[in-house]
Amino acid sequence: MRKLILPLISLLILSFALVTTFSSCKTRSETTENLMDSIDYKKTVPEWVKNSNIYEVNTRQYTPEGTFKAFQQHLPRLKEMGIDILWLMPINPIGEKNRKGKLGSYYSIKNYTAINPEFGTEADFKNLVSEAHKLGMHVIIDWVANHTSWDNVWMKDHSDWYTKDSLGNMTVPGGTDWEDTADLNYDNPELRRAMIDAMAYWVKNADIDGFRCDVAGMVPLTFWMHARKAIDEIKPDCFFLAEDGEPQIHKAFDMTYGWPLKDMMNDMAKGKKNVTHLITYFETEAKRFQPEDIRMQFTTNHDENAWSGSEYERFGDAPVDAFTVLTYTLPGMPLTYTGQEEPLKKRLRFFDKDTVGFKNYERKDLISKLNQLKSGNKALWSYTYRNSFMGLKNTCPGSVLTFVRFYKKTQVFCAFNFSEKEQAFKIPDMLKGEFTVYIGENIPVKMNENIKLKPWGYSVQVARD
């Protein structure tokens, strides 16, 4: 960034003032300038994250009221389901200028330090966080650092914080159709400071436990490093989730999106890919990511549901449950999106009101049981492929996936038939131990035993020596 060069006479006139206020001015200047620099900051993944399950809350569509108070009534049920982390989609006011739909996009932020009146008041939000904490749950909020609405409170006094074209006009984020948003310019150190201060506001005033950061890869990594450091100084055990999938961003974030697995499952459900491709994916992940890097595994989320279709739409005749169980048994952290426990078989509208319509919670028992297994069995905690995952060869490698997760003497055996036909196979090599079926089909877990799995069948078994 260009530095302002003052005439010599101006420097002489200002010299006395600079000397007398040297300490405070230097501190502010260094803080601002340093925000542009790369830093070698070693973040630490919070201990409480390692056996956590995360749930994404679409507040607008969760209840007919679409408020924090109405959602709060569901906290005991979610706690009973084994949910540990609540990720709330953006809580801030939504811009009105260039708004899409009647209610607009959550991701068009009008004011970073205020609450969307559609959801209630700041007091309502603080009470929600407090009640979640009483139940032993953590709360993170969706943070949109890359862009704002066209009527954001910063627009009037800080137009230099925005990206402009050759004619001096503010622009939408490059390569997008997000016409309801204006791109922020991270070449401006004052913007970086203001954004970090806004993030700190919610940690200090509402005691939130971290952030899910929207399109994190579109914002400079140097900013996220400074933001993480600043938040850690306020509350050291905050959790950072990046909407990004690259290893580099783990320098600032604890968890990233496992998009390749989601795409792989979509293709497997349609018969476009098979287990061989899945195993190649595992091998690639193990090489690209570090031991402490957590990958979020999911079959759906707010973007997938709204723009690509529900799980049931995308998977077709392939049972959703098999893929759900896979996300829980692979290394990483499983995500449950609003309504998956119902189940949610429709696309929720993104810019208008469209409630889930909870009635029977038909998948609650399945998800609860998977959450219980994930959080209670150290073999499934958020460790890595290289020290808790071992693929097992079988005689039907194109259709059947077999592997073991382990921690010391605890083992979890998993078998999946990702095909529309019954598969008969053997496993030439098997870990020792007596296995008990936890969920799915009761199949023998012994070396060279004849095994059969129904179409799209699965078996998860636990052994303790």
Whether 7 maps to a domain, the answer reads: no
Question: Rounded to an integer, what distance in angstroms lies between the CA atom of residue 239 and that of residue 220?
Answer: 19
Write down the pLDDT at residue 19. 35
Token pair belonging to 456: 């799209």
How many residues are present in the chain?
465
Does an H or E element contain 192, and which?
helix 189-206
Question: Rounded to an integer, what distance in angstroms lies between the CA atom of residue 170 and that of residue 111?
Answer: 18
Write down the pLDDT at residue 164. 97
Q: Are residues 113 and 173 in the same domain?
A: yes
Whether 193 maps to a domain, the answer reads: yes
Q: Are residues 328 and 381 in the same domain?
A: yes
Write down the pLDDT at residue 416. 98
CB 218 within 8 A of CB 173: yes
Question: Rounded to an integer, what distance in angstroms lies between the CA atom of residue 280 and that of residue 274?
Answer: 10
Write down the pLDDT at residue 386. 57
Residue 330 sits in which domain range? 47-386
Structural domains of the chain, count: 2
Q: Are residues 353 and 375 in the same domain?
A: yes
Q: Are residues 343 and 329 in the same domain?
A: yes
Q: Are residues 85 and 151 in the same domain?
A: yes
Q: Are residues 175 and 245 in the same domain?
A: yes
Whether 19 maps to a domain, the answer reads: no
Crossing angle for the helix pair 122-134 and 189-206, to the nearest 10 degrees:
60
Whether 17 maps to a domain, the answer reads: no
Question: Rounded to an integer, what distance in angstroms lies between the CA atom of residue 177 and that of residue 261?
Answer: 26
Question: Rounded to an integer, what distance in angstroms lies between the CA atom of residue 341 and that of residue 367?
Answer: 7
**Domain boundary, last residue among 386, 403, 420:** 386
Token pair belonging to 35: 């925000």
Q: How are the residues of the chain apportioned to helix, strand and coil, as percentages rounded to the nearest 5?
A: 35, 20, 45
Whether 250 maps to a domain, the answer reads: yes
What's the one-letter identity of residue 25?
C
Question: Rounded to an integer, what distance in angstroms lies between the CA atom of residue 336 and that of residue 74?
Answer: 15
CB 350 within 8 A of CB 101: yes
Q: Are residues 139 and 250 in the same domain?
A: yes
Q: Are residues 159 and 228 in the same domain?
A: yes
Whether 31 maps to a domain, the answer reads: no
Q: What is the CATH number of the domain that holds 106?
A: 3.20.20.80
Whether 418 maps to a domain, the answer reads: yes
Q: Are residues 218 and 163 in the same domain?
A: yes
Q: Are residues 353 and 325 in the same domain?
A: yes
CB 158 within 8 A of CB 190: yes
Write down the pLDDT at residue 151. 98
Whether 84 maps to a domain, the answer reads: yes
Write down the pLDDT at residue 384. 59
pLDDT tens figures, 68-88:
999 999 999 999 999 999 999
Question: Rounded to an integer, what distance in angstroms lies between the CA atom of residue 193 and that of residue 28?
Answer: 10
Q: Are residues 401 and 453 in the same domain?
A: yes
Q: Are residues 264 and 138 in the same domain?
A: yes
Question: Rounded to an integer, what distance in angstroms lies between the CA atom of residue 198 and that of residue 193?
Answer: 9
Write down the pLDDT at residue 183. 98
Question: Rounded to an integer, what distance in angstroms lies between the CA atom of residue 314 and that of residue 265?
Answer: 9
What is residue 62's three-state secondary structure?
helix
**Domain boundary, last residue among 386, 413, 432:** 386
Q: What is the CATH number of the domain that holds 394?
A: 2.60.40.1180
pLDDT tens figures, 376-406:
999 999 865 557 889 999 999 999 999 999 9
**Domain boundary, last residue among 352, 386, 420:** 386
pLDDT tens per residue across all 465 residues of the chain: 323 333 333 333 333 333 333 333 333 334 555 899 889 888 999 999 999 999 999 999 999 999 999 999 999 999 999 999 999 999 999 999 999 999 999 999 999 999 999 999 999 999 999 999 999 999 999 999 999 999 999 999 999 999 999 999 999 999 999 999 999 999 999 999 999 999 999 999 999 999 999 999 999 999 999 999 999 999 999 999 999 999 999 999 999 999 999 999 999 999 999 999 999 999 999 999 998 899 999 999 999 999 999 999 999 999 999 999 999 999 999 999 999 999 999 999 999 999 999 999 999 999 999 999 999 999 999 865 557 889 999 999 999 999 999 998 899 999 999 999 999 999 998 778 899 999 999 999 988 999 999 999 999 999 976
